[in-house]
Chains A and B, each alone.
Chain A
Amino acid sequence: MLNLLSGDRPRSIILTLILLAILIALALAPFLFPGVRSLETAARICIFIVLAASYDLLLGYTGIVSFAHTMFFGMGAYGVALASTHMGRGYDALIVGSLGGAVLAAILALGIGLFSLRVRAIFFAMITLAVASAVAVLVSQMSWLTGGEDGLNYLIPRELTPAFRFGEAFGVKLTGKLVNYYVIFGFSLVLFLLLLRIVNSPFGRVLQAIRENDFRAEAIGYRVVWYRTAATCLSAAIAALAGSLFAIWLRYVGPDTTLSFEIMLDILLMVVIGGMGTIYGAVLGATIFVLAQNYLQNLMGVASEATGSIPVLHELLSPDRWLLWLGVLFILSVYFFPSGIVGRLRAGR
């Protein structure tokens, strides 16, 4: 068990219990919370845990801010979509699409990294923002390839779709959707453990050294540019794989669901609120965020109704404004809890 966690234990009893609860809830989600919507939420949580964790490798461990993480996510998703469209329905298309997307993402990350990290790390944030927005526009314009704003619908192997039925267990109908969920869950778990392995390796230790003091790391003899670029490529490839999982789950890709800047902000919020520099923070951040996204809006709707007579407060509490409150929470957490929920829990042990 400790080997699986790469020796990086949660180091807090409450945190351990929360993580175990999340793991069990996700592992048994189809049986514990039957229903289409809750399964949708669970799959989304799995995928975003991997996405946020891969972003944490950059932001929390290496200290680089990138705004192109959704671009890599989208590359994986579009890889699966394009392969499934052009190679026909089949597992080979899924594998080729995922791996192709991940490799392309890593190559692009290498290019951007060599270009901007060479000069100064702060360029990276601005350049990734520019490149990601250009790619998002390009994807929505090249409709002959990507389906433009409408995106792409495609077929995945029948065993992964709701049309495939094979009986019933514990009062839940066993369909291909369930198989699909466990594929997502399994791969997410493997990728998550892989990330845990990476950050606890000597390589991850060097990244932390660079985050703390890049000048000193260079003086000790580590090639800072090389390490930063390698971290960028790794995190891009894993983000692309998360994107592939998302595409397999949704059976649809479009610019809004995979490439938009809103998702980038979501990832930032997840990592910061969960706790930067602790891969476990991504688990908490993604879980809280996706649950909030799906259920908090209902709550805010109720609050907005209740305050309907007070003009500005009513607007402030409207469900469409939930990003406002998350933004406030985001700023506050950067100030007061830079190590996020995980850091708090560990400190309060």
Chain B
Amino acid sequence: MSAAPDHRPTFAAVSLSDRIGKAMPYLLIPLLVVVGFFAIGSSSSWLTLTVSGLAMGMMIFIMASGLTLVFGLMDVINFGHGAFISVGAFVGITVLLALSGWTGVPSLALNVAAVILAALAAMLATGVLGWAFERVIVRPVYGAHLKQILVTVGGLIVIEQLIHVFWGPDEIFLTRPETLKGAFTFWGAAIEKFRLLAVVFGLALFAAMLLVLKRTRIGLIVRAGVQNGEMVQALGYRLKLVFIGVFIAGSALAGLGGVMWGLYQEVITAGMGAEMMILVFIVVIIGGLGSVEGAFIGALMVGLLQNYIAFLEPKLALISNIGLMTAILMWRPQGMLPVVKAK
């Protein structure tokens, strides 16, 4: 019998810095909010800015979630995602304008019903459009990034121009439904009702999404597909089908985000999707491609930072997002919570 090997195993607890490092992405949002509080000084403006930053972040997250999952699942980068945002906004707002009898009266039930109908119409339209887009534009170019980028940019141009054909070249102004107009005061801070609604709605949606992804069978397949698609296919699941489902859901969510953004800005243009895409890409990159939680954290950071900086130093607000992206990528070149292994 030989003697035990000569080395002595040591037990070391995970050091504090390692633990903080792991949890850091989740801590960034509270950290940012606290730093914002001290930088701004006045608690009422801080509260207003925080709510509007969170509202903006939630809406960006709704638009970005589909994109990041689509990339994670099938390695497809869709530059045409912005087109769904615009189409969703135009369809939704058209429905809302048609229901002006419901939105003009100060009745909460009718107003909310109109908004929900508009959102459903927009999601239906963009879902169908997403399905067609996947079929016609994306499917022939699986696995070729260069062609994907080119073709989806082409799709973006065509859809944007078609919006001009059907809705005319001008932007459309709208007013929010009666009960969602205006603001209320809370601790001396003016908080717009719609923004609060957007925050609540975004949180609910995020929770629902996590529930689906983490607690259901289909969510399990989606997450497994993001981590290792080939293995999932080898186990007998038709990942392509799952992917199409995720693509449609992602497109519908982009349409929903478009309606909310239109209501938030009270004006919609055909180019709004392409403009939002820039923020969406920043969010997806800093969150880590393929990660829904990462996109959520990224979106909130972008929203909060933009609002804080616009208050503190308006000139810098334009480049705050680029600065944030640079800082995050210096810290974690793959994004905060990368899921997809570098391909």
Closest CB in chain B relative to A322 CB, distance in Å: 9
Considering the complex, give the chain A residue whose CB is closest to the CB of B149.
A65
Instruction: State the majority secondary structure of interface residues on A.
Output: helix
Residues of chain B lying within 8 A (CB to CB) of residue A122: 77, 145, 149
Residue B321 interfacial (CB < 8 Å): yes
Bound complex: CA of A35 vs CA of B127, how far in Å?
52
Known: A120-B342, A134-B322, A141-B318. A321 touches B161 (CB 8 A): yes
Residue A331 interfacial (CB < 8 Å): yes
Question: Interface digits, A115-152 against B, CB 8 Å rule (1 contact, 0 not)?
Answer: 11011111101110111011001100100000000000
Q: Which of A115, A265, A324 contacts B326 (CB 8 A)?
A: A115
* Chain A contacts with B in 45-92, Cβ cutoff 8 A: 59, 63, 65
Interface size on B, residues (CB 8 A): 42
Known: A118-B333, A268-B150, A327-B154. A130 touches B282 (CB 8 A): yes
Are A324 and B165 in contact (CB-based, < 8 A)? yes
Question: Interface digits, A298-316 against B, CB 8 Å rule (1 contact, 0 not)?
Answer: 0000000000000010011
Residues of chain A lying within 8 A (CB to CB) of residue B77: 122, 125-126
Bound complex: CA of A323 vs CA of B156, how far in Å?
11
Residues of chain A lying within 8 A (CB to CB) of residue B282: 126, 130
Bound complex: CA of A272 vs CA of B147, how far in Å?
10
Residue A320 interfacial (CB < 8 Å): yes
Residues of chain B lying within 8 A (CB to CB) of residue A320: 164, 169
Residue A330 interfacial (CB < 8 Å): yes
Residues of chain A lying within 8 A (CB to CB) of residue B155: 327, 331
Known: A134-B318, A320-B169, A324-B165. A330 touches B157 (CB 8 A): yes
Residue B19 interfacial (CB < 8 Å): no
Residues of chain A lying within 8 A (CB to CB) of residue B206: none
Considering the complex, give the chain B residue whose CB is closest to the CB of A271.
B150
Bound complex: CA of A138 vs CA of B343, how far in Å?
34
| Interface residues on chain A, size class | 35 or more
Are A323 and B161 in contact (CB-based, < 8 A)? yes
Residues of chain A lying within 8 A (CB to CB) of residue B140: 335
Closest CB in chain A relative to B181 CB, distance in Å: 30
Considering the complex, give the chain A residue whose CB is closest to the CB of B323.
A134
Residues of chain B lying within 8 A (CB to CB) of residue A334: 141, 147, 150-151, 154
Are A331 and B158 in contact (CB-based, < 8 A)? yes
Are A331 and B154 in contact (CB-based, < 8 A)? yes
Considering the complex, give the chain A residue whose CB is closest to the CB of B155.
A331
Are B278 and A129 in contact (CB-based, < 8 A)? yes
Q: Which of B149, B281, B343 contacts A130 (CB 8 A)?
A: B281
Residue A157 interfacial (CB < 8 Å): no
Are A127 and B318 in contact (CB-based, < 8 A)? no
Residues of chain A lying within 8 A (CB to CB) of residue B153: 265, 268
Given contacts A119-B342, A126-B77, A324-B162, 11 further A-B contacts (CB under 8 A): A120-B343, A126-B284, A130-B282, A130-B321, A315-B166, A320-B164, A321-B164, A324-B165, A327-B158, A328-B154, A331-B155
Instruction: Name B's A-contacting residues (CB within 8 A).
Output: 77, 79, 137, 140-141, 145-147, 149-151, 153-155, 157-158, 161-162, 164-166, 169, 274-275, 277-278, 281-282, 284-285, 315, 318-319, 321-322, 325-326, 329, 333-334, 342-343
Q: Which 5 A-B residue pairs are closest in the complex by CB-CB distance?
A: A324-B161, A327-B157, A331-B154, A327-B158, A126-B281
